[in-house]
Structure 1
Amino acid sequence: MKNRRLFWRIVDKIESAIDAGEFTVGSRLPPERELAERFDVSRPTVREAIIALEVREKVEVKTGSGVYVIAGDQPNNAPQVNAFELTQARALVEGEIAALAAKTITAEEITQLEETLTLMKDMQNVEEADALFHQIIAYSTRNSALITLFEKMWTLRSSSEEIIKDYDIVCSTDNTKTLAEHTEIVHALASHDPAIARSAMHKHFNRLINVLFEKLEAQALDAVRRKNNANRNLYSIESLVSKR
């Protein structure tokens, strides 16, 4: 995925600057806007890079203060989370986020969501548009606890190599279904009906889980088929006769 590769390049550049001493331990990184200009990328791309750096324990994000470089020598004892667990957790949390957002979202934020739909429809920066879509909804709740939960889950979504690989399987499917679901969520939020917004978000994640299962099952079946074909060639009578 283009945008995912892009934010990892920004991670590498910031890490290099930290290792070179440009950003020392305890210092604050430049604002998101300045980093976006420096690396010639969008602010959401910088935001994803910062999340990945936080998971790598290179930086610490202090709400209302900024992003600070840390020593990064603390052991990482975080439990392993798979794509199914994460998607289920996202469905539960983002379902409630959507329900609350239906009450708090502004007309301006609805317009911002509609802009992400346009990007997805035109196949422009689809991954970035998807990330921005969910982020706008989370931030529209004005609830710091829910926003923190959302960001932690997106950290796993965008920095775990195993989850990235599994989500790439989902992202390779028909984009029109994701676009239709996002559109339904926007309409639900615009109606300011919490129950409808929650249901629309649950519907979106339920399909993602089903697609994930279907794709992984297909991969497993393909692996079995390849193994059986190899064994068939090994044990076939034709193979034995041809060796005489």
Structure 2
Amino acid sequence: MATKTYQRVANSLESDIRSGKFKPMSRLPPERELASDFEVSRTTVREALLALEAARIITIKDRSGAYVLPISDEESTLLARVESTPGPHEVLQLRRLIEPEACFQVAMSGSDAIIADIVAAYEANAAVPPDDTPEFHQSVRHYHMTIMKGAGNSLFVELMDYLWEQKSGPLWENWYMGTRSRHHRQTTIANNREITEVIVARRPQAARTAMERHIDGMVSRFLSY
């Protein structure tokens, strides 16, 4: 399997840390500087730093930066395991390709029964208090999966199921734990209401745009961590 770009960056930074270029408790260069040095995007650097944090090689402090931790050979093995999973931005990129298209298809040609199922899934999601509970997250998943099923393409469903499973991976969990809040969950409900309303109104392009806006918000959240 080809090495992911963020893996290359993470491995290079780990090598620099082990060589003593970056001392324990010292601050790594800013993300934009690292992106320029490695000639990659800021999102790639963010995924590399998340991998290093999940492997306990660095710690990311809110609004302060990434700091080096004392490490051992055990962390190197852990980093290899962490890097075997897709990064959060990779997952969001793919979701942005398929979910807006599913919304378009449902709004354009979904049956009344399919649209009723989507409305019911949204209402079930909105009825759950926006606390950080498994019930809330399961209701969000059910809402998105209902849309994918309504698009009438079984591959959409299989791919979405796989992408959602990545949310239990170490990189996603590491990022999500640092940004989860009641405000973000309330935003999710508001986004889902907008998506549902334009699907019900059978406005395909508006449905596509609403889902794109929702996922773009998640990307911005990823970059704000």
- TM-score normalized by the length of structure 2: 0.55
Query: Residue 146 of structure 1: CA displacement?
Result: 1.3
Structure 1 distance, partners of 2:175, 2:130, is 23
**Using a 3 Å threshold, how does the CA distance of structure 1 residues 131 and 166 change in structure 2: closer, same or farther?**
same
For residues 12-41 of structure 1, give each alpha carbon's deviation from its aligned partner in whole angstroms, at most 9, with x where no partner exists. Answer: xxxxxxxxxxxxxxxxxxxxxxxxxxxxxx
1:149 equivalent among 138, 159, 167: 159
SS of corresponding position for 1:106? helix
Query: Residue 135 of structure 1: CA displacement?
Result: 1.1
Asked whether the 8 Å contact 1:189–1:197 carries over to 2, the reply is: yes
Query: Residue 123 of structure 1: CA displacement?
Result: 7.2
Structure 2 distance, partners of 1:181, 1:206, is 11
Structure with greater Cα Rg: 1
Q: Could you say which residue in structure 2 is the equivalent of 1:131? A: 141
Q: Could you say which residue in structure 2 is the equivalent of 1:187? A: 197
Q: Could you say which residue in structure 1 is the equivalent of 2:21? A: none
Letter in 1 for 2:186: T
**Could you say what the CA RMSD is over the residues aligned between the two structures, in angstroms?**
2.4
**Using a 3 Å threshold, how does the CA distance of structure 1 residues 205 and 116 change in structure 2: closer, same or farther?**
same
2:136 maps to 1:114: no
Structure 1 distance, partners of 2:203, 2:103, is 10
Structure 2 distance, partners of 1:80, 1:191, is 38
Structure 2 distance, partners of 1:169, 1:122, is 16
Q: Could you say which residue in structure 1 is the equivalent of 2:92? A: 87
Asked whether the 8 Å contact 1:185–1:197 carries over to 2, the reply is: yes
**Using a 3 Å threshold, how does the CA distance of structure 1 residues 171 and 113 change in structure 2: closer, same or farther?**
same
Q: Could you say which residue in structure 2 is the equivalent of 1:38? A: none
Structure 1 distance, partners of 2:152, 2:140, is 20
Asked whether the 8 Å contact 2:85–2:166 carries over to 1, the reply is: no
1:23-42 aligned within 5 A? none
SS of corresponding position for 1:153? helix
| Unmatched 5+ stretches in structure 1 | 1-75, 216-244
2:172 equivalent among 163, 167, 182: 163
- TM-score normalized by the length of structure 1: 0.51
Structure 2 distance, partners of 1:171, 1:109, is 25
**Using a 3 Å threshold, how does the CA distance of structure 1 residues 148 and 107 change in structure 2: closer, same or farther?**
same
2:213 maps to 1:203: yes
Query: Residue 196 of structure 1: CA displacement?
Result: 0.7
Query: Residue 155 of structure 1: CA displacement?
Result: 2.2
Letter in 1 for 2:120: T
**Using a 3 Å threshold, how does the CA distance of structure 1 residues 208 and 173 change in structure 2: closer, same or farther?**
farther
1:97 equivalent among 99, 102, 109: 102
For residues 174-221 of structure 1, give each alpha carbon's deviation from its aligned partner in whole angstroms, at most 9, with x where no partner exists. Answer: 122211111101111111221111100000010111011112xxxxxx
Structure 2 distance, partners of 1:182, 1:138, is 14
Structure 1 distance, partners of 2:220, 2:182, is 12
Structure 1 distance, partners of 2:175, 2:132, is 21
